Chains A and B, each alone.
Chain A
Amino acid sequence: MFAAFLQYLFSGLTSGAIYALAGLGFAIIYNASHVINFAQGEFIMIGGMATATMVAAGVPVYLAIPLAMAASMLVGVAMEKFAIEPARNSDVVTIIIITIGASIFLRGAAQIIWDKEFHSLPAFSGETPIAVLGATLMPQSLWVFGISAVAIALLWYFFNRTMFGKAMLGTSHNRLAAQLVGVAVKKVLLASFALSALLGAVGGIVVTPITFTNYEAGIMLGLKGFSAAVLGGLGNGTGAIVGGLIVGIAEAMASGYLSSAYKDAIAFIIILFVLFFMPSGLFGKRGTDRV
C-alpha cells in the first residue's frame, strides 16, 4: 500500500522535475520578453535527440552532452534573433503563432536531420534499481533529481548574485528603467532564449534514458511545462518549479490510482480548475488593468 504510493511518488517526482525545468524555461523567456515560447518543448527534444544520436554514432557521452547543449542554445538564440525580435511589437496572438510556427519548423527539421524513430540513451550509472521501503528507484531518477536541483541552484545564483542575472531580473520588472540604467536589453532577450534552451536541453538529456525520445517528444513535454508555468503563475520561477512537481505527482497518482489512459489529461484538468478559480495561478500577481 505505502510501497505503491512511494512508487508513484518517485515516478511523479521524476517527470515533475522535467516539467519544472521546462516550466522554468517558459518563465525565463516570459519574464524577459512577455513571450510564451511554444517551442520550449522542442529544445527538450533537440537536447535528447542530439545526444542520443551522437552517442549511438560513437561520440563519447561526455562530449555529446555539451555539444547537444550548445546546439540547443544556438537554436534558441537563432529563434530569438530571426523570429521573435523582428516581431517584438506585435500582439500576443501574433507572437503565439510565431513560436508555434517555430516549433513546427524545428519538428520538421528534426524529422529530416534525424528520423521518425524513437531513440534512447544508456542510463548514466547503470540500470540496477535501488530498493527504498518496498518501492524501487531507478538510478537515472536520482540523476534527474540531482541535475534539476543543481540547475535550479545555479539559476538562483545567476539571477541573484551575478551582474548579468540581476540585469535580466531588472529587465523583467521594467524594461525601460533597465534600459535607462544601462542594461543592454537586446542582449538580455538573447540570453533569455539561450538560457531556456539550455535548461530544456538539460531536461531532455537526463530524461531520455527513461522515456526515450523522438522528433515529436517535445509537444507534450512543452505543453506540460507550459501548464506548470501557468499553474505556478506565469513568470514566477518558484511557481514554475512547484507547478512542475504538482503536475508530475498528480499525473503519476492519477495514472496509478485512477486510470493510466487519462494520465495526460490530468495536467490540463488541474490547469482548468486553477484558472477557473485562481485566474493568475498559485503564485501569480493579481494585476489590475490601467485604462
Chain B
Amino acid sequence: MNLMTARTGGLAALAIFITVAPLGFSNSYFYDVGVNAMFNAILCVGLNLLIGYAGQISLGHAGFFALGAYGSGILTERYGMPAIGALVLSASVVGVLAFVVARPILKLKGHYLAMATLGIGIIIHIVLKTEAGITGGPDGMSVGNFKMLGFTVKGDQMWYWVTGVLLVLAVWLSLNLIQSPVGRALRAVHGSEVGAEVVGVDTSSYKVLVFVVSAVFASIVGSLFAHKNGFITPDISSFFHSVELVTMVVLGGMASIYGALIGAVILTLLPQLLAAVEQYEAMILGAIMMGTMIFMPKGLLPSLLASLKRREAGK
C-alpha cells in the first residue's frame, strides 16, 4: 500500500490537527467540546458512507446511537459487565438489528426510505422512554466510567486523546472502504442503481453492508458517549437528534469524508457560540440549514473546493 497518497496526507493533517489543537485550549471546557465534536465526527463519517456515498438517507440514526448508549449503560450498571464487553455486545446487537431491517427498508427509495428510517428511530425513542424499569424512563440513567484492564478513562483530557485516536482510525477505515471495490460499488449504486445492477453489482448486499457499518459506528460512539457523559436520557434518540446528524453530513458535504467531519465540528460548536443568544438558537440553526442547502447544495467543503478550482482555472 502506498503510504503517501492524498488520503494518507489528509489523515496525517487530521492527526496533526488533533495533536496541536489542545495548545489553544485554556481549560477543560475546550476538551469537553472537542470530545463531543469528535464523537459527532466519528458518527457522521459512518453516516456519510450511507448518505453521501450510497445515496440512502436515514432519519433514524440517533436511534442506533442511543441503543449503543443504553446497551452499554444497562449492561455495565445493571449486570456488571466490563465496559468493553458491553460496548462490543451492544454494537453487535445493533449490527444484527440493522441487518434484519436493512433489506426491506433499503428496497424503499426517497421519501419512503426517509419515512421508514424515521419510524424506526421514533419507535426506539418511545421504547427507551417507556420501559422505565430498564432504562430509567424520561429521567434517564447514570453510567459509570469506562474501565478496561484496570485502566479507567475519565476526565475530559484523557477522553480527548482516546477519541482523537478513534477518529483517526474511523477516518482511515472509511477511506479504505471507499477506495476499495466496495466503495466503487457504492458510488455506482448512488449514480444509478439499475445501472450498477446491470454491470453485475449486487446492489442490495452493498447497501445492507453500508447500513450495518454506519449503524455500528453510531452504536460504538453511543457507548463511548454514555461513559464520557456519565448520564443519558431518551432525548439522545429523538427525531431532532437524527436530523442534526443528517444535517452535519449534508452541511459539511455529502460523499466527502472530511466534509462530514467539518460539518460535525461546525454544528457541535455552533450551540456553544450561540449560547449568548440562546432563545434565537433554533431560528439560527434552521436558517443555516436552509441557507446552506439553497446556496451550497453540495455542502461546504465540496463547494469551497469547487470554487477554489474554478479560481485556479480562471488564472
Does A105 lie within 8 Å of B290, measured CB to CB?
Answer: yes
Does A275 lie within 8 Å of B243, measured CB to CB?
Answer: no
Question: Residue on A with the closest CB to B124?
Answer: A265
Does B287 lie within 8 Å of A101, measured CB to CB?
Answer: yes
What 10 pairs between A and B have smallest CB-CB spacing?
A: A105-B286, A108-B282, A101-B289, A108-B283, A268-B119, A104-B286, A101-B290, A261-B130, A276-B104, A265-B126
For B143, list chain A residues within 8 Å (CB).
Answer: none
Does A93 lie within 8 Å of B283, measured CB to CB?
Answer: no
Kindly specify which of A61-69, A83-91, A118-126, A129-137 makes contact with the partner chain: A83-91
Does A272 lie within 8 Å of B120, measured CB to CB?
Answer: yes
A88-110 CB mask vs B (1 if < 8 Å, else 0) is: 00111111111011111111110
Kindly specify which of B1-9, B110-118, B144-152 makes contact with the partner chain: B110-118
For B281, list chain A residues within 8 Å (CB).
Answer: 108
Does A98 lie within 8 Å of B116, measured CB to CB?
Answer: no
Does B286 lie within 8 Å of A230, measured CB to CB?
Answer: no
Does B119 lie within 8 Å of A90, measured CB to CB?
Answer: no
Does A94 lie within 8 Å of B250, measured CB to CB?
Answer: yes
In the assembled complex, B122 has its CB within 8 A of some CB on chain A: yes
Does A227 lie within 8 Å of B286, measured CB to CB?
Answer: no
Question: Residue on A with the closest CB to B238?
Answer: A219
Question: Residue on B with the closest CB to A86?
Answer: B294
Does B289 lie within 8 Å of A100, measured CB to CB?
Answer: yes
B250-291 CB mask vs A (1 if < 8 Å, else 0) is: 100010000000000000000000000001111111111110
Partner of B115 from the list A100, A106, A226 (CB cut-off 8 Å) is A226
- Known contacts A105-B283, A108-B285, A230-B115, A96 near B130 by CB under 8 Å: no
A263-280 CB mask vs B (1 if < 8 Å, else 0) is: 011001101100110011
CA distance A98 to B289 in the complex (A): 6
Does A83 lie within 8 Å of B290, measured CB to CB?
Answer: yes
Q: How far is the CB of B214 from chain A (nearest CB, A)?
A: 15
For A87, list chain B residues within 8 Å (CB).
Answer: 293-294, 297
In the assembled complex, A160 has its CB within 8 A of some CB on chain B: no
For B126, list chain A residues within 8 Å (CB).
Answer: 261-262, 264-265
In the assembled complex, A163 has its CB within 8 A of some CB on chain B: no
A271-B116, A272-B120 known; 14 other A-B pairs, CB under 8 Å?
A: A87-B294, A90-B297, A92-B114, A93-B51, A96-B111, A101-B247, A102-B286, A103-B286, A112-B279, A219-B239, A223-B122, A230-B111, A264-B126, A271-B115
- Chain B interface extent, by class: 35 or more
Partner of B286 from the list A93, A106, A289 (CB cut-off 8 Å) is A106
For B280, list chain A residues within 8 Å (CB).
Answer: 108, 112
Question: Residue on B with the closest CB to A234?
Answer: B111
For A226, list chain B residues within 8 Å (CB).
Answer: 115
- Chain B 279-314 interface residues, beta-carbon cutoff 8 Å to A: 279-290, 293-294, 297
Does A230 lie within 8 Å of B283, measured CB to CB?
Answer: no
In the assembled complex, A1 has its CB within 8 A of some CB on chain B: no
Question: Residue on B with the closest CB to A260?
Answer: B130
In the assembled complex, A180 has its CB within 8 A of some CB on chain B: no
- Chain B 120-160 interface residues, beta-carbon cutoff 8 Å to A: 120, 122-123, 126-127, 130
Question: Residue on A with the closest CB to B119?
Answer: A268
CA distance A95 to B57 in the complex (A): 12
For B112, list chain A residues within 8 Å (CB).
Answer: 230, 234, 275, 279-280
CA distance A42 to B272 in the complex (A): 26
Q: How far is the CB of B271 from chain A (nearest CB, A)?
A: 13
Question: Residue on A with the closest CB to B281?
Answer: A108
CA distance A97 to B290 in the complex (A): 7
Q: How far is the CB of A82 from chain B (nearest CB, A)?
A: 8
13 sampled A-B residue pairs with Cβ under 8 A: A87-B293, A94-B297, A101-B290, A102-B290, A105-B290, A108-B286, A265-B122, A268-B119, A268-B123, A272-B119, A275-B116, A276-B105, A289-B194
Q: How far is the CB of B112 from chain A (nearest CB, A)?
A: 6
CA distance A112 to B286 in the complex (A): 14
Q: How far is the CB of A253 from chain B (nearest CB, A)?
A: 17
Q: How far is the CB of A163 from chain B (nearest CB, A)?
A: 30
CA distance A95 to B289 in the complex (A): 10
- Known contacts A108-B283, A108-B285, A289-B194, A97 near B250 by CB under 8 Å: yes
- Known contacts A101-B290, A227-B119, A111 near B279 by CB under 8 Å: yes
CA distance A86 to B288 in the complex (A): 15
CA distance A96 to B239 in the complex (A): 14
In the assembled complex, A144 has its CB within 8 A of some CB on chain B: no
In the assembled complex, A57 has its CB within 8 A of some CB on chain B: no
In the assembled complex, A18 has its CB within 8 A of some CB on chain B: no
